[in-house]
Amino acid sequence: MEPQTRLRNAAHSRFRQLRDRLDPVVAGVRSRVTVDTRSLAALRVLLGVTLLIDLVHRAGSMELFYTDNGVYPVAAYEVTYSQFTGLSIHALSGALWFQQLLFVLTAVVAIAFVLGYRTRLTGAICLLLLFSLHARNPAVLNGGDRLFRVLFFVALVAPLGERWSIDALRRGSARRGVASFGTVALLIQPLVVLGANAYQKHQGDYWYAGEALEIALTKDVMTVYLGNVIVEYSQLLVVLNYIWVVLLSGAVLFLFVPTGRLRALAALVYMATFAGMILTVSVGLFPLVLIASVIPYLTAPFWDGLDRRLPTDWNDRLPTKDQLGPLSRPPVERRLLTAVRARGYPGVASYTVAYAHSLLTIAGILVVAWILVFGAADVSEREVPAEIDSPHLDQQSWGLYAPDPSIPYSWYLIEAETEDDSYIADIGGLSQQFDRPPDASEEYETFRHRKYLETVRYSSDDDTGDTIADAFGEWACNELNSQGDEPVESITVYRQFQTSPEDGELPDPHTLTLIEQNCLAD
């Protein structure tokens, strides 16, 4: 045997040995990044339903927060939050009918997304309209809104329409599981959120000492429902505090490392914990989006077990492709590829499909890199390279109640002055009393009203005057003068500030003046 042949055979033998050794590793990694397509379908449904819930919630304050007759007219949008300037379709008009039209359009597209019709296209339109809505009035947003748009974006690189969808019915086939960079992105996103939050909490003094949860629930303005009950049980709060810290800091170990039933069980524990947030604290969409983020960790044994508990004929109740009517036709791009093949160009069609798959793979790789790079930059407090530094990319910051929760809270009220009298104005969902209320969370119509008034508070600290605070004062004057027979000459916006307990007792709140507005000025 020639020397070159012997060398080549030896190299092939070593390669086979290396491959055999790596096969278990590759299989282990693949089993952990494979997501059941029923989980992807459930994620799609919950994302779409969350968007619909958000729209309904915002609709009650549509005129107040999104029109020129409210507290944040288009003129204010154009000169505040410069990172969002020019990026909101909702800011093309300050008319109420225009916002109503966009809300309805978003709801229609969200329903199509839930049903899995043209899933990636309708999902991209949902994300576009969601970002536009967020950009229209960032003053009412919290971290849950940011997590919602981040998760929605990440989810679009995975095949959300593979199961339980009109797309699947039209296609006539579906995979049971998917392993791709898109599923990797979906799996690591909640790990980055939980891990970063655990790291930031470790920088504080109270979470790892078992005291923070009690402090957080003592902040009455954000504590609701069950939270008002359990805040009285200090020992229980210590136990729940440590459970929460363990779940945050051990997310990789509990969620990513296991497979099969153990992984599904861990996901259900996290989902139950997030659901508990709905019953205890008013933090907007955070609980729903966190639940959605761990749905990809529900494995095949969970869905198979759930399937066995459903009626045996439940599959027969689902619509068939023939019952879809006009929707049963393949998507236009598939029809084009079929036509190209029929004309004798099968290579062009195959190249187009391969090119599209490559683009999705590249997109998945870029999303994974984005999550890891910006997540690491946030916890390490290091700057990302200038070439990619952007406020629109710098979204991986997750500091809910971190490093420590705070006890002090505020509520706001408006005192209106007429020629003969003064009174506390009942507008904008504001408080009606200077005294500390029995439940401060009820002093706001919604959590978005609280977020907006916090923005007004911070903006009013600017001695030169701020557009947001000025717009709020002008709105209040106009609103009061449109309601009453006697002209309002001026208004004063007060912030009632409740400090921390002293010797176990809450001191009287401080009254701080935020805005003094002359309502008769031109």
Q: How high is the pLDDT of residue 200?
A: 92
Q: How high is the pLDDT of residue 463?
A: 47
Is 267 in the same domain as 319?
A: yes
Is 371 in the same domain as 464?
A: no
Closest listed residue to residue 51, CA positions, set 119, 148, 144: 148
How far apart are alpha carbons 410 and 513 in whole angstroms?
Answer: 12
Is 292 in the same domain as 415?
A: no
Is 205 in the same domain as 290?
A: yes
Is 304 in the same domain as 437?
A: no
278 domain-assigned: yes
403 domain-assigned: no
Provide CB contacts within 8 A for 12, sequence distance 6+.
Answer: none
Cis bond before residue 403 (omega within 30° of 0)? yes
Is 456 in the same domain as 324?
A: no
134 domain-assigned: yes
Is 145 in the same domain as 273?
A: yes
How far apart are alpha carbons 449 and 222 in whole angstroms?
Answer: 12
Domain boundary among 380, 399, 421: 380
Is 334 in the same domain as 424?
A: no
Domains identified in the chain, total number: 2
Is 129 in the same domain as 219?
A: yes
C-beta separation of 147 from 398 below 8 A: yes
Q: How high is the pLDDT of residue 383?
A: 80
12 domain-assigned: no
Domain boundary among 337, 362, 380: 380
- Could you tell me the two tokens for 250? 């051990």
C-beta separation of 136 from 102 below 8 A: no
Q: How high is the pLDDT of residue 323?
A: 61
9 domain-assigned: no
Domain that holds residue 290: 32-380
Q: Mean pLDDT of successive 10-residue segments in the chain (522 residues)?
A: 61 63 70 91 97 96 94 92 90 96 97 94 96 95 94 95 88 86 95 94 90 88 90 93 95 93 96 95 94 96 88 64 66 69 70 74 91 87 77 82 85 88 84 84 88 86 69 91 83 88 77 88 60
21 domain-assigned: no
Q: How high is the pLDDT of residue 331?
A: 72
Is 250 in the same domain as 209?
A: yes
Phi-psi region of 428 (alpha: psi -120 to 50; beta: other; left: phi over 0): left
Is 165 in the same domain as 250?
A: yes
| Whole-structure pTM value | 0.91
448 domain-assigned: yes
397 domain-assigned: no
How far apart are alpha carbons 516 and 493 in whole angstroms?
Answer: 7
Is 370 in the same domain as 413?
A: no
Domain boundary among 364, 380, 396: 380
Q: How high is the pLDDT of residue 466?
A: 80
